[in-house]
């Protein structure tokens, strides 16, 4: 990242308005998680983004203007003491140069991965069966929800379909019996080669990459990434073998032709949204 100057100036009224709107939106996204944490309850869909991705809800609430933005009158605000912020006179800004020098490898990796993923054709033949492969021929399961079908019928769905998961962080949870059924062998090493935009988990992971880019990313993009990941996770679980009726979710029955068609329809929509978000993030880094 080569930007070294503050190319935009936000007056105090404007940036405080944006900060307040951001905090309110973030609070709405995390309210359920915070309330459940206080009572010890869990949610098989909504809690995923707070457990699988090890980022505190408070991180979502912290608004950044992004690189190259001068915040007028912010030198006396708490944000002036945040890491990677600098002051000049009565104003404050993100020290993008210092952050980029410290995190050069991460920035280069994220930009390369998102760009490469964006340019590849999307695959729409997985039908979310990675979640089924995670319970294949195994009596103990990761989630507290029961299976929609009997274990033997669930196993038959895996046996009767093509398993083609391209995402390592899904593949690594396959049961031992399911691993050899996958047409691909995803690994952390070949992730930059196999990642493709039709993958739901690749779309969710944009949130992870945005978090890692810290103050370089405007808060609005961070929350857009979180919201997209939340919506994708809902389809991910609706298409899973779990019975989520107690939580108000109807299944996308991918063991049927109609369910497969519904999955692909929504998958295409998320692919388009994910690619637009990838473009926005990459534009910040080039």
Strands (E), the chain: 8-10, 69-71, 85-88, 91-94
On whether residue 229 sits in a domain, the answer given is yes
pLDDT band per the 50, 70, 90 thresholds, residue 141: confident
Average pLDDT, the chain: 94
9 three-class SS: strand
Task: Reply yes or no on whether the pLDDT at 137 is more than 90.
Answer: yes
Pairing mode of beta strands 69-71, 8-10: parallel
- Least confident among 2-16, 84-98, 210-224: 2-16
pLDDT, tens only, 142-160: 777 899 999 999 999 999 9
Domain count, the chain: 1
On whether residue 89 sits in a domain, the answer given is yes
On whether residue 259 sits in a domain, the answer given is yes
- Least confident among 50-59, 233-242, 267-276: 50-59
pLDDT band per the 50, 70, 90 thresholds, residue 2: very low
Task: Reply yes or no on whether the pLDDT at 50 is more than 70.
Answer: yes
- What percentage of the chain exceeds 70 in pLDDT? 98
pLDDT of residue 144: 76
Per-position DSSP letters for 130-155, written without gaps between them: HHHHTSTT-SS-SSSSPBSS-HHHHH
On whether residue 272 sits in a domain, the answer given is yes
On whether residue 173 sits in a domain, the answer given is no
On whether residue 200 sits in a domain, the answer given is yes
On whether residue 45 sits in a domain, the answer given is yes
On whether residue 239 sits in a domain, the answer given is yes
Distance of CA 23 to the CA centre of its chain: 19
pLDDT, tens only, 173-226: 999 999 999 999 999 999 999 999 999 999 999 999 999 999 999 999 999 999
User: Residue 180, CB half-sphere, CA atoms under 13 Å: how many?
Assistant: 2
- Token pair listed for 279: 């473009």
Task: Reply yes or no on whether the pLDDT at 1 is more than 60.
Answer: no
Q: What is this structure's pTM?
A: 0.94
Domain that holds residue 265: 8-124+190-285
- Token pair listed for 278: 């990838």
């Amino acid at each position: 990242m080569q930007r070294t100057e503050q190319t935009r100036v936000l007056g105090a009224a404007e940036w405080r308005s944006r900060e307040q709107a951001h905090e309110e939106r973030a609070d709405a996204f995390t309210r359920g998680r915070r309330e459940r944490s206080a009572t010890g309850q869990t949610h098989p869909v909504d809690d995923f983004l707070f457990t699988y991705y090890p980022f505190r809800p408070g991180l979502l609430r912290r608004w950044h203007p992004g690189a190259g933005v001068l915040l007028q009158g912010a030198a006396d605000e708490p944000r002036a003491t945040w890491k990677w912020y600098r002051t000049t006179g009565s104003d404050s800004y993100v020290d993008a140069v210092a952050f980029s020098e410290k995190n050069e490898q991460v920035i280069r990796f994220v930009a390369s991965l998102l760009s490469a993923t964006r340019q590849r054709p999307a695959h729409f033949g997985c039908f979310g069966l990675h979640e089924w492969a995670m319970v294949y021929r195994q009596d103990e399961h990761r989630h507290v929800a029961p299976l929609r079908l009997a274990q033997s019928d669930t196993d038959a769905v895996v046996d009767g379909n093509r398993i083609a998961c391209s995402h390592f962080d899904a593949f690594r949870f396959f049961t031992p019996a399911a691993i050899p059924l996958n047409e691909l062998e995803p690994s952390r090493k070949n992730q930059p080669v196999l990642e493709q935009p039709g993958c739901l988990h690749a779309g969710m992971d944009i949130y992870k990459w945005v978090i890692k880019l810290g103050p370089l990313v405007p808060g609005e993009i961070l929350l857009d990434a979180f919201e997209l990941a939340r919506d994708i996770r809902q389809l991910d679980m609706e298409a899973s073998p779990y019975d989520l009726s107690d939580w108000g979710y109807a299944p996308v029955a991918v063991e049927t032709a109609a369910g497969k068609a519904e999955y692909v329809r929504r998958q295409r929509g998320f692919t388009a949204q994910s690619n637009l978000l990838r473009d926005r993030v990459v534009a910040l880094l080039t």
